[in-house]
A and B are shown apart, each in its own frame.
Chain A
């Protein structure tokens, strides 16, 4: 990637200038938000689905931070999503239905789980790391399954009662409130993530992903940085889980399973890894397609998703973003 810098000094200067200016907002970045607000008015019957999509975008965005920016290949990210969901859910099921504080609680608890598990598993790499992330998620799944006095176990968490947001905006089954709530939360979290990514901390993550040895050599605190982004990402994933719990008023074991982690990975790959916006493309594409095609007969859905995945990996490296960038001839952005 970085090796695409040409030896020609003026081209190099232009490239570096563009690189340094990346943190500034470009008009293209307003598109997702405009689209989301437009969707609110154009598709009033689909707002429940829309709210889900927004929450999952946040989840997949959090995955992008660890996978796309720090290069940590994890199959257990649903652990943090699920922890956030159950935290927010259990609060609401036990009398505390205030949404915002429930959401924050979900984020905090997920961050703690991320910090503790990260401190243990991030020492490893490759297959061992993959395994450890899988195992952490599996342990949490079993725990949620067995602690059914608190979580409802296989029956799911029943009895969640959400209070209206700020006392006035009630959650209804058509999803009006839920959609705007998820949109606002996604916006705030995205802004935070964007800041992180474009900060010097974020740049160093790219370095860690591309060439760990050299990062060690220049004295960067690699382990600590990885842990920080892992924890931050866990917090965001936890908030996303809390959003799902609060807007559906239900938490089932599916928030913690392998399929959840795998699907997030797939959605990110479809959109494009490490571009910050891969989630914004991959998630709606996937979830809307699933809504259209998978409802009555999921069999064909699995087949096409599997086929698409293989196709993307073998032929369409970089997902939608990769395709777009190849079409428009820009160098791959770090």
Chain B
């Protein structure tokens, strides 16, 4: 019986780590989709670029872990700001099909660009020695890096919640998500709000992509291969919220790991069936707003 518990804890733990990575990447997507009503299929590309930048800074230039991470996030924020200004801005409030197509185009460009710069081979990710190996939490040992991931995720969720609930910026975002027109009439500069939120969301994605490089490996097709997972987290969690994607990511992360363990022959099938069922009952997501 204790063996069963040990397996359950292990699976739960790994599922939690996956959930944190999914959350970090998807929360930005949820907020921007809820805020700008924009279907950004290319969101995963920001996570991917974050991953590429960090891993290559670390492996090719021996930049320390924290610094490489920071550099990657900052770089992606800048890239996303430029893209927002040049491209995304044109299609706000536009036809959904156009948004799907434009962001698909961005995915393809991202695939080509990273292949050109870094080649077709998966980027190796070596966590720093301080975060490698196992950590003893008293009742059992856990892989240190995964523990670190979980802690990061928890810290960031708290930070995000505090930002959204306690800062003026957060209040503005909430107002704009609830009712964009009203927010504009009371003087909120929505276009600047969009830009900042987009940048933050992309930065978080880069963080998630870089930190999660062991779990979601950095490949040239990253943005396309993982798209469905990010969209599922957002769709189940509900647009425009930061709480929703958290629980959705937990659900997806743990279920996916559990199903792979229990029935590896069936793969991700259950996750999709689960998603479909949830979306039928909650078309706007579990925490979605009207």
**A residues apposed to B, CB below 8 Å:** 67, 73, 75, 120, 124, 126-128, 130-132, 134-136, 138-139, 142-143, 145-146, 258-259, 262, 265-266, 269, 273, 299-303, 305-310, 312-314
Contacts and interface: CB of A to CB of B under 8 A. Distances in A.
Contact of A299 (B87, B116, B265, B273): B116
Nearest to A302: B112
14 contacts: A120-B276, A127-B235, A130-B96, A142-B266, A145-B267, A265-B101, A303-B113, A306-B105, A306-B111, A309-B108, A313-B102, A314-B90, A314-B91, A314-B102
Among A127, A132, A273, the most chain B Cβ lie within 10 Å of the Cβ of A127
Interface of B: 33, 39, 87, 90-91, 96-98, 100-102, 104-113, 115-116, 224, 227-228, 231-232, 235, 239, 265-269, 272-273, 275-276, 279-280, 283-284
A310 B88 CA distance: 11
Contacts of B279: 124, 128, 131-132, 135
Q: Top 3 nearest A-B pairs by Cβ distance?
A: A306-B108, A309-B105, A303-B112
B106 A310 contact: yes
Given A142-B269, A303-B112, A313-B101, 20 more contacts: A126-B96, A127-B96, A127-B239, A131-B279, A138-B268, A145-B267, A146-B266, A266-B101, A273-B97, A299-B112, A302-B108, A302-B109, A303-B113, A306-B109, A307-B105, A309-B104, A310-B87, A313-B105, A314-B87, A314-B90
Contacts of B108: 302-303, 305-306, 309
A301 B90 CA distance: 25
A124 B116 CA distance: 40
A310 B105 contact: yes
B78 to A, nearest CB: 20
Nearest to B235: A131
A135 B90 contact: no
B265 A146 contact: yes
Interface of A is mostly: helix
A292 B199 CA distance: 38
A307 B101 CA distance: 11
A306 B106 contact: yes
Contacts of A136: 276
A182 to B, nearest CB: 27
A120 B280 contact: yes
Contact of B100 (A124, A130, A258, A300): A130
Nearest to B116: A299
A301 B98 CA distance: 21
Given A309-B105, A310-B102, A313-B102, A143 B269 contact: yes
A67 B96 CA distance: 12
A217 B208 CA distance: 47
Contacts of A75: 100
Contacts of B272: 135, 138-139, 142
B98 A313 contact: yes
Contacts of B267: 142, 145-146
Contacts of B105: 305-310, 313
A135 B283 CA distance: 14
Nearest to A121: B276
Nearest to A142: B269
A126 B113 CA distance: 30
Contacts of B231: 131, 134
B224 A258 contact: yes
B231 to A, nearest CB: 6
B273 A139 contact: yes
Contacts of A273: 97
Contacts of B113: 303
B101 A269 contact: yes
Contacts of B111: 302, 306
Nearest to A311: B105
Contacts of B224: 258-259, 262
B275 A131 contact: yes
Nearest to A68: B97
A302 B108 CA distance: 5
Nearest to A145: B267
Contacts of B102: 309-310, 313-314
B80 to A, nearest CB: 16
Contacts of A301: 112
Given A142-B272, A302-B108, A306-B109, A127 B33 contact: yes
B115 to A, nearest CB: 5
A126 to B, nearest CB: 7
B273 A127 contact: no
Contacts of A67: 97
Contact of A73 (B96, B107, B280): B96
Contacts of B98: 313
Contacts of B91: 313-314
Contacts of B266: 142, 146
